[in-house]
Structure formats: C-alpha cells, structure tokens
Chain A
Amino acid sequence: MIWKRLAGAGTRSSALLIALLMSVVVGADEAQDRVATAKKWIEQEFRVSTLSPEEQLKELQWFIKAAEPYRGMTIHVVSERIDTHWYEASTLARAFREITGINVVHELTGEDDLVKKLQVQMETGQNLYDAYINDSDLIGTHYRYQEVLPLSDYILAEGADITLPTLDLDDFIGLSFVTAPDGKLYQLPDQQFANLYWYRHDWFSRPDLKKQFKRRFGYELDVPRNWSAYEDIADFFTNHVKNLDGQRVYGHMDYARVDPSLGWRMSDAWLSMAGAGDTGLPNGFPVDEWGIRVIGCQPVGASVERGGALNGPAAIYAVNRFIDWLDQYAPPEARSLNFTEAGEWVGKGQIAQQIFWYTAFTAAVSKPGLPVMNPDGTPKWRIAPSPHGAYWDEGMKLGYQDAGSWTLMKNTPPKRRDAAWLYAQFTVSKTVSLQKTLKGLTPIRNSDLMSDAMSKKAPYLGGFVEFYRSRSRDIWTPTGTNVPNYPRLSVLWWKHVSLALVGKLTTVQAMNSLANAMDDELSYIASRHSMICKPVLNELKSQEYWLQQPGAPKAKRDEKPPGETWTYEEAIRAWD
C-alpha cells in the first residue's frame, strides 16, 4: 500500500522513494558488512569464549544495532598502563570500530596521571574523557561527590536501551568493590588484580635448604603463615644462604623510591596485612586499612586520638617492618625502584620471596626463557596467601585487590557517554572477556574463571587460577568507602612515610604527622567541598582511651610470635 501511495505522488516523491530505497539497500548492505566483520573477529580473535560462536554473533549483532545512532563518532577513554588495557587499546578498540562504526581513542597512562585527570574533570567540569577505567579505590569518593553516574540507575533509565541484555552483572566477581553504601553500583569492573605472596617453590622444595632452615629456626621452610616466619625466611636467604647456583640471592623484595607509588605500597594493604583495621568484608568497619574510622557513612578521624588507627601500634609496626625488611633483606636496588620497575624484578631469579606482589605482573614473569621458568613452560614460583601480621584477626581482609572499573561522569555530554558505555560493555562482554583474561590475566567474570580454557592454563600460572576460583578472592579487597576523597588523601601517604624511610623522622613521628595531616585534610574537604556523608571529626581523646576500646585501634601486642609455616597445598586449601 505505501509503495502505491508514494509512487503516485509525482516526480518529487519518486525521487524521495528512490532515495529511501537506496538508503534501505545501502543500510542493509552496511549492516551485512558489519555482521560479516563481526564473524571475522569471532573466527580470528575471539576464538576462546564461554559463548558459542552463534551466541557471540548474536551478542555482536546487538552491538551493531545499538551503535547505529552513534556511528561515526570518536570517543576518548583512558586507563592505566597494563597488559590488559594495551590489549583493549590496540585490539578491542579496533574490533569495536570495525563492528560498530564508533571510533575509540583508548589512551594509556600512569595510574597517578589517570586519577589526576579524573580529578580535573570532576573539579573543572571539562570533558577530558568520555569514560575512565578507574580503580574501585575511589568508590568512597564517587558516591560522596555524586559526580559519577550511578550505573545501576543509568541502566534502568536513560541507558536501558543501550545496556547489553547479556551483560549478566551477577557474573562479575568484583561487584561488591564498586557498590557504595547507598546500595548503588557506581562502576563496572574491567580488570582485577591482587597482591599475593610470591615465592620460589623450587628453592623452598630443596632438601638441603629445608634441612638448614629447620636446624636454624626449628620449623619447616615453607609458605609463611605469619610475619615472623616471613622475616625468618628473609633472614635465611639474604644472610645465611646468600648465594645459590652461582648468584647472590635475597629473601625479600620491595620498592621504595620516593614517589606516589610508595604511598600505594602502604595504602594498598600493608597496614591491613599487619592488622591495623577492624574485621569486616570487603573492608573493616568502623575502621578500615587506611585507619579512618566512620560513624555510619561519615568519617570521624584517622588519628588514634579521634578513634582512628593510622598512628596506632599496628600501623607503626607495619611501617617499621616495611623499612627494616627493606634495609636488612632486600637487594640494594629496591630503594630506588617504583611500582612499575619493581613488578618484574622477581623474574631475574635472585629473589626467594616477596610478601606483597601484584598478580598483574604474572604474564611478565611467566615468559619462556626467564630464570624463574621451567623448560616445559611451568613456573618455578608459586603464589599463595600473604602472611598476616601480629595484629591481624580472623574476619579481616588479608590483602589488596584492585578492580579497575569503567566510570562514567555525569558532566560528560549524554551522547558521548552513551557511546562510551557501549565500548565499555564490549570490553567486558562474554564474546571477548575470556580471550582478554587469557591475554592479561586480570579476570573479572566467574564464567571465565570456571572455563576449561582456564583449567588448561592453571598449571602454568603458579596458583593464580586456584586463588581466583577460591573464596579468597573476596578477602583481598580494594580501598574501602571510609576514604572520602582518594586523590587528595592518597598523596599524604608517600609524603609522610618517606620522611621515616629517609630517616628525617622516626616511624612514630612520621605516622603521627601522617595521622594529623589526614585529620586536617578530612576537616578541610568537609568545610570546602560539596558532598554527602561528609567527614565530621570526633572530639580529641587520649590514646589510652581509644586503645582500651574493642577493635581498632588495637593496643600493642607481641610483635614477634613464633614463626608458623604451612605447605603450599595447605595454603591453597585455606582459600576454600
């Protein structure tokens, strides 16, 4: 009927009809081309997936359709500089462009630069990027300042039509890290990595070394359960074994250049492993690993005098051990290294153990030919639960896990934000996520972790898969919601801890000054920033008063209890 009406409406209408038909034909051709492109990507790049090829194609067809209004746009996104994001920036951005017609500039930069750029967009309102992949450490900032779009609201309202039906949020293992106290999801995990204990399983298995260790320390050389054992093993390799297979070896590795990453060393988990905070998962309540106490959702102080734990005995113990072990057991180079430089250092084959090692470097230290690899491609090293300090209690988080997560700002123009949301979902879709996980080893989906592909890979990853398949992945958690402004508060860590590190102050003096600076900053942001759940400092009371209360801050304990070790098998079973 419509054809007849159009055809009978004269020459002009005929021209319109031809144009319409042409556009339909061209549109149909283009859609077919894009489906063919999607098939090509499935066959050539996304061969490993938890979806069947047919399901993958269906998922990609959804992207083709949803992207229509945004075709031809160029969006800018930014993330930190690790293997997973390199894969996204170079391969997934290209696939997304070819499949959907949306161009993506995916920038890679240092974590510190990323946080500062996000801060600039928050403060100035300038649209620097259309989306950020930002650590879930900032969840306390995001929900308080309300500058970040709550995704759980967005996907039910304006983002409903462009939210992937197969997104399957329940499949993400890190959702608790990106959910705020208001129950809303503010970010979507894109990659995760944890800090675990790393050690030379081959050395720890040598009968001669086991015998020597037991004779000297009275217990087995094995995976340390507590810091006393870690310290003994560090002493053993650095000061007693000294040389193995013709080279100098060390019982401990760390990094300590005066640089923002020195702060992350502390704020990421050193204090929580020591046991400075309270029990509670994903973070201690009312005091978490930054030593900040909250009442409800309001921070009330970091210093012991205000009920916090940042200059309490556990925190001072943590920093003392950090400095002592660095000086006594680590290679001399450790003092001049930062996060990036130190990550791959264990691959040189001189390190016996590292208490706090980022699994993001797993791919880098698994390269064939490295002295820490066997000829058959299996590693000589293992990763296991980190040993806990003297103040740690059952029910506390034990280590750090970061969930680099997609973050959309409210001040990004809606159309740009929507297009960026499509790209974000593409990078975590089931079509691509398993392949991405195998490339970068930063898993986000339970379905990927339980896949046959990961089972096949497990023997080559030294315990990585076992960790992520266990309950432990819930006990390694990011910075919690007690931290109301991560960018402003995080800089205080390296500025103050470095004073103790270089000997300008004692550890007690440095931690007192850090705790006071943290309180001052909490007070400053409360007085000058617009936010919900803003800090209200507790009245000052004596340290004695707070140390007598239950939980954190905790009174001084015996900091060198007997060393305890367990076998690797026992250690990995502990994760269940």
Chain B
Amino acid sequence: MGLKLWFNPVNWQLLRLVGLFLFFIPFQVNAERLSLVTFLERPLVENVDGKPAGVVVDVVSEMMRRAGMDYNIQLVPPKRALMVAQRTQHHCVFPIERSQEREVFFHWVRPVLISRHGLYSAPDRPIRLQTLSDVQPYVIGSFLGSGVGEYLESFGYTLDYASRNELNIAKLQKRRIDLWASDVLSATYLARENNVKLNDPELIFFTTVRAMACNLDTDATLIDHLQVVLTGMYRDGTVDKLTKSAQAPR
C-alpha cells in the first residue's frame, strides 16, 4: 500500500477516531490489590487526621477508582517509602521523580504531577536571573532528598540543604541562603502558611514529571491499564480540575 493512500486526510481522521476509541476501551482488570505508600510533601501530600490527603493523593485516588482497583494508601517517611515499593510485592510509591538511575528498579505510571521549579529570592533582596548560569555566585537553599537540589549541585552550584523544605523560608529571610529552589506549588503554599510575601520566582529553571513507581513484580498489564486511565484523566481535563487551585504560574 502506497504512502499516498495512508496520508489521505479522510483516512487519517478515521484512523484517529478508531485509535482514540481503542485507546479508551474498557479493560478487564486483574483483581490484584495494590498497597500505595506516600510521604509528606505539603501541599502535594498532607497528613489530615492521620490520613494522606492533598492534590497528588486526589489524582492517584481518582485513577485507582476509575481503574476499578482495590487499594489502600499509607503515609511513611520518604526513604522508607521508596524501599518498601522497591522490595515488596504489590506496593507502589508516589509521587517520585522518574530518573535514569531509578528507571530499572520499578514499573512506572506517570505523570501523577507535573511541577515547575523556581528560584526565589528574599522579598527585600531581589536577585535578577536571566539564565541558570547567573546562579553561580549564590548559595541556594534546598532540602535533603530533593532531586532538584541534586540537579543544581551536579552543575557545580553551592547548595545548602535543610531537613525540610519549609525551613528554607526562614533561612531566606535570615540571609543564610541567597536563593530558594522549590517547586512553585510548594513555595506558594508554604509562603502563605508562614505569612511571607514571596515574589514571583526569579527564574523557573526546571520541570519535573512525578510518577507512581511500582514494584517490579507488579503485573505489567495492570501498569499499562493504570497508564491508560491516567492519560485519559489528562485528556478529559480531570487532572487540570484537581490541580487548578494550585496551578503553577508560567
């Protein structure tokens, strides 16, 4: 069959429709129960009366509901969450950054969240940044375990790590750091909570795609199904609605 026929616009539209239909056809789910583990990272994941809540929890819960999956969610410390999902059958961890180094240890469903990361200066001490190379002379605050902190450090920048992200607001005000590297959603939320009037980020410098990572023993068909459901939630605007109140500025 020649290319001309394949590129006929009428056929192409038809193909798209058929493809979209096939993309969303119902799927017979294996009755495997998944245990999900997550960790505090406000406002993405919060502890409300001992239960996980927050925007990413909402996205994951909706995905599981639509997929017809039986599941439970537990809050555990970040390092333990990763270890549990890596070592225990039927366990998944979210929201974590999918990286080349982690790729081989999990099955992945993504994105449970797309984050923009910015560099914030103290409101009374703005620092004009055009590109990431302008950051060279400054001390940047981040938190232990932050992938974005490691990203900046890999370029040779000076990082000062706090144990938790929210501590960086005080460090910024006390001039212990020049810039705070944080995802925009968290920075806005934490500044509001601490009654700090934060300027817009001096530079949005990195985008991360957060994922749910599942133990390698998890049925690959199930992972594919969850991925199809999650993609559908982006396509129909559900994720947008769930995250709208905390949309990152561009």
**Which residues of A are in contact with B by a Cβ distance under 8 Å?**
74, 76, 78, 89-91, 93-94, 97, 103, 105-107, 109-110, 112-113, 116-117, 120, 123-126, 128-129, 146, 181-182, 258-261, 296-298, 338, 494, 498, 527-533
B99 touches A105 (CB 8 A): no
Q: Which of B83-132 contact A (CB under 8 A)?
A: 98-101, 103-104, 110-111, 114, 130-132
- B174 on the A face (CB < 8 A): no
A532 touches B100 (CB 8 A): no
Known contacts A124-B235, A125-B234, A338-B100: A530-B23 contact under CB 8 Å: yes
Q: CB-nearest residue of chain B relative to A530?
A: B19
B103 touches A260 (CB 8 A): yes
A532 touches B203 (CB 8 A): no
CB of A563 to closest CB in B, whole Å: 37
Q: How many B residues face the partner with a CB closer than 8 A?
A: 38
Q: How far is the CA of A78 from the CA of B205 in the complex (A)?
A: 10
Central interface residue in B22, B131, B231, by most chain A CB within 10 Å: B131
Central interface residue in A106, A107, A261, A527, by most chain B CB within 10 Å: A107
A124 touches B111 (CB 8 A): yes
A107 touches B15 (CB 8 A): no
Q: How far is the CA of A124 from the CA of B99 in the complex (A)?
A: 19
CB of B221 to closest CB in A, whole Å: 10
Q: How far is the CA of A110 from the CA of B150 in the complex (A)?
A: 13
A530 touches B15 (CB 8 A): yes
A90 touches B231 (CB 8 A): no
B2 touches A296 (CB 8 A): yes
Instruction: Write the B20-46 contact mask toward A (1 if CB under 8 angstroms, else 0).
Output: 101100000000000000000000000
CB of A396 to closest CB in B, whole Å: 24
B100 touches A260 (CB 8 A): yes
Known contacts A117-B207, A527-B22: A532-B12 contact under CB 8 Å: yes
Give the 3 A-B residue pairs with the shortest CB-CB distance, closest first: A530-B19, A124-B234, A90-B133
A128 touches B207 (CB 8 A): yes
- B16 on the A face (CB < 8 A): yes
Q: How far is the CA of A128 from the CA of B210 in the complex (A)?
A: 13
Can you name 4 extra interface pairs (CB under 8 A) apart from A94-B131, A182-B7?
Answer: A91-B133, A113-B100, A261-B100, A338-B100
A107 touches B231 (CB 8 A): no
A297 touches B103 (CB 8 A): no
- B6 on the A face (CB < 8 A): yes
B104 touches A258 (CB 8 A): yes
Q: CB-nearest residue of chain B relative to A129?
A: B207
CB of A225 to closest CB in B, whole Å: 35
- B161 on the A face (CB < 8 A): no
Q: Which B residues are CB-close (under 8 A) to A78? A: 207
Q: How far is the CA of A384 from the CA of B231 in the complex (A)?
A: 46
- Return the contact of B6 from the options A90, A125, A533 (Cβ within 8 A): A533
Q: How far is the CA of A527 from the CA of B15 in the complex (A)?
A: 11
Q: How far is the CA of A464 from the CA of B83 in the complex (A)?
A: 46
Q: How far is the CA of A259 from the CA of B23 in the complex (A)?
A: 30
Q: How far is the CA of A461 from the CA of B204 in the complex (A)?
A: 37
Q: CB-nearest residue of chain B relative to A183?
A: B3
Query: Could you name 21 residue pairs across A and B whose Cβ atoms are closer than 8 Å?
Result: A94-B130, A105-B205, A106-B131, A107-B205, A107-B207, A110-B100, A113-B100, A116-B209, A120-B111, A120-B114, A123-B234, A125-B235, A181-B3, A297-B3, A498-B104, A528-B23, A529-B23, A530-B22, A531-B15, A531-B19, A532-B7
Q: CB-nearest residue of chain A relative to B16?
A: A530
Q: How far is the CA of A125 from the CA of B233 in the complex (A)?
A: 11
CB of B25 to closest CB in A, whole Å: 8
CB of A549 to closest CB in B, whole Å: 22
- B10 on the A face (CB < 8 A): no
CB of B53 to closest CB in A, whole Å: 24
- B18 on the A face (CB < 8 A): yes
Q: CB-nearest residue of chain B relative to A146?
A: B12
- B250 on the A face (CB < 8 A): yes
Known contacts A120-B114, A182-B7: A97-B130 contact under CB 8 Å: yes
Q: How far is the CA of A339 from the CA of B152 in the complex (A)?
A: 20
Q: Which B residues are CB-close (under 8 A) to A532? A: 6-7, 12, 15
B131 touches A112 (CB 8 A): no
A113 touches B98 (CB 8 A): yes
Q: How far is the CA of A434 from the CA of B134 in the complex (A)?
A: 24
Q: How far is the CA of A532 from the CA of B132 in the complex (A)?
A: 40
Known contacts A338-B100, A532-B15: A76-B209 contact under CB 8 Å: no
Q: CB-nearest residue of chain B relative to A92?
A: B131
Q: How far is the CA of A75 from the CA of B101 in the complex (A)?
A: 29
- B157 on the A face (CB < 8 A): no
CB of A284 to closest CB in B, whole Å: 19
Q: CB-nearest residue of chain A relative to B20?
A: A530
- B189 on the A face (CB < 8 A): no
Q: CB-nearest residue of chain A relative to B6?
A: A532
B100 touches A117 (CB 8 A): no
Q: Which A residues are CB-close (under 8 A) to B23? A: 528-530
Known contacts A124-B234, A182-B7, A259-B101: A74-B209 contact under CB 8 Å: no
Q: Which A residues are CB-close (under 8 A) to B207? A: 76, 78, 107, 117, 128-129
